[in-house]
Amino acid sequence: MKHLGALLLMTGGLLLSACGLSTLPDSIDTAQSSDSKPETAAPDERSDSESVSESESDFPDLLSFQAKTIEGSSFTPADFAEADVTAINIWSTTCGPCVREMPELAEYAKSLPENLNIMTWCLDADISASGSEIGKFLTECGFTGITLASGDGDLQKLYEQLLYTPTTLFVDANGKQVAEPLIGAGNIAERYSAQFEAALKELGIESTLQTEE
């Protein structure tokens, strides 16, 4: 499959598993030029192949916000109540690892029981010149979940603390963080299942995840 906006970002000859936040491309299917400059200062991009994990206390709970999806509908913390645990994959069209892992994320999402959910938040959906193509890209990947385009309140606070994409948070039915966030791309099924299991254990809910033998 041709992935819209797939970027092969390399540092020291190694594929990155996470990207520092940077400027957005004019088109999703155009690679970022080598002389493009970050819109805001970002830390050095990670060059290790291992994903990173940060303390959940580094990011705010998502208890109060108003958000808009890429389809134009609204999303609030009340919508988290549809699942015991929701994973929020935060990505951008400039992030090669984010784009490359989307088909795997979409496939994994289909395997989840009803009480677990995956949604995404595309950080450049509202300001990319090709924002209208994001929905098409997700459809081609097979992702059928909700994708946020923008938000205020606690979402804005979270945005201000983000350093890398992809970053994935796990929240309970009220929007409170459970388990550790995941930073960087990697084996979706293995990493997400481990965090879903940890979140359910923290909430005292019996897991119904199917594990490979």
Q: Which residues pair with 118 in a beta bridge?
A: 87
Q: Is the pTM of this model over 0.85?
A: no
Residue of 123, 120, 189 lying closest to 160 (CA atoms): 123
- In 65-179, which ranges are E strands? 67-69, 74-75, 85-91, 116-122, 147-151, 164-165, 167-172
One CATH from 3.30.9.30, 3.40.30.10, 3.30.70.360, 3.30.470.20 for 18-28+49-203 = 3.40.30.10
pLDDT, tens only, 31-74: 332 232 223 223 333 333 344 444 445 899 999 999 999 999 99
pLDDT, tens only, 24-42: 444 443 233 223 222 322 3
Stretch 78-98: mean pLDDT, rounded? 96
Q: Which residues of 40-52 are buried (b: 16+ CB within 10 A; e: fewer)?
A: eeeeebbeeeebb
**C-alpha to C-alpha distance for 132 and 138, rounded to whole angstroms:** 11
Distance between start and end Cα atoms, the chain: 29
Instruction: Give the position of tokens 């690892």.
Output: 97
Q: Give the per-residue pLDDT at 12.
A: 25
